[in-house]
Chains A and B, each alone.
Chain A
Amino acid sequence: MSVLNELEKASLSPSAGETSPESHPMDNFMRMDRMPHIWCPTCGIGVSVNCFAKALEKCQVPLDELAVVSGIGCTGRVAGYVKVDSFHTTHGRAIPFATGLKLGNPKLKVVVFSGDGDLVAIGGNHFLNAARRNIDLTVICINNFNYAMTGGQLAPTTPEGSILTTSPFGSYEEPFNLPFLAESAGAVYVARWTSLHIYNQTNAMVEAIKKPGFTFIEILAPCPTIYERQQKFGDGLDRLRWYCDNSDIRNGASTKDVDIRLNEKIVVGKFVDIERPTYLQSMNAHYTEKLGDRYKPYEG
């Protein structure tokens, strides 16, 4: 099935028809009193928030038991718009905050929604260690290849050759390959999709939210105002068209082969889906073995 067909199918999905003049299908999920949001037209972040809402609907997570944690940046603003318990923390530290929140109350479903700069540059150490510990978190990383909120600077994900305000003659740094990074640090679920792949993206979110452990989804998203404009890639829609022509869906691909080069085909898909005990499962099993009856399994 072509991705454009998917796009069409999504627009015809049943929930799209439920809109009445008095209500909006997003009313229960979004803080409508905070609209309009700050994201630019054709930015990919809103697409992912929409997919996230659909994913929550699909997996029937009670919204009272869900918390969204964000760091700083354009994607960092997601927490402020979703009508669940939400925490807009400091730059790079969404994951350790989420770690405390999850361990403080393991009954909560905790989702980290943040950008590439936030999660893997300033927050890189936390990303690695939370994946290593297999903390039960779903991390959704919107990768727009630059620091957009601050006006378009070089990010750790910027493809080599990209022109940005702090790489005015083109970037000469090797970017991170996020799926490879996540897998090698210990993530139990790793997928990458683009803003075009709304079905796959939504399904990945469903799978990741349902799966215990550190689950990671990278979403490649257009940044029409800065990244696409600076690279003369056109606007967000042009970029979606480019994704359509240049996305190579390869489920199960080896993550070391999925690095991103400027103007080259992008490999998307579900790359990792393995089983591994979560941090709390390991802790409870270990203490039960070592301490016997003296230990009451930790439940928050």
Chain B
Amino acid sequence: MADSIPTVRRERARAPVHVRLFGDRIFNTATFILALAILALLAGLALALIADSFPAIRAFGLHFFISTEWDPVNDKYGALPFIYGTFVSSFIALAIAVPLSLGVALCLSEMAPDWLSHRLGFLVDLLAAIPSVVYGLWAVFVMGPWIRDYVEPQLAHYLGWLPFFQGPKVAVGMLSAGVILAIMIIPYISSVCTDVFRVVPHTQREAALALGATKWEMVKTAVIPYGMTGVIGAIILGLGRALGETIAVAMVIGNSADISASLFKPAATLASVIANEFAEATSDLYVAALIELGLVLLILGIVLNVVARALVLGVQRRRYQEAGK
């Protein structure tokens, strides 16, 4: 053993400083290039979509966004039915997912003891682990028929005077897509909300309780207002997920390029029409139009994500600043 020490020393002494710095230079350059690859990936993504949708942008201009005509046979493309379908299905999803997610987040952060809270949180997270295509399969064969047989008749009976709940009751349609989307985005919204509520300082809660607030009053006056921007961020993050979700929606929305007030009827979203028609698109203009739909999705995804992250980070940063004082 004693012999090995001088050996190491000699090896070290043999490598002059500039050689060792050379190794550093290689390492720094290599990691720099790999970091640059991420910037290049984002830039390449945007450029590829802009370049490949250019024929459609040139052919239709802004008319693309207000035209309801989607007619591959005559090479006429308008995105409005898909933009409409994307937003309506996402808003159905949010209408269901937001109250449930807030309930889950409050239950996990305020109600459940630590050991239970982590186990329940884990189960909710599992919802995010199930692949989209599996949700789609379940929605096609189980949830869709159930909505057709039990939910839609009830809605039509009690709320049938509204235009949203009229028309034939079918298993595939806007409502089914909205419900499956809700199930898929709840884990995202609820986990961000739980994190946000958990960083609310204990002094805030104690102050409310000391003033005589009940638990719910404490939540209402101290927890929710403190985390409000984070909650809004979480909702926007969920909206971003819902807008871009593809396969499950493509399987249950029915894929029809019609705009109809009825939520029972089949519709289509930006993502679902790309999934359904891209591989079979024949003309160049058809492909370009589909890629332009993808470009719209990309822009929506980027904008919503940036806004949501800024809001959520804002809450957490404020917490750290206050803790630092």
Q: Is B one of A's binding partners?
A: no
Interface residues of B (CB under 8 A from A): none
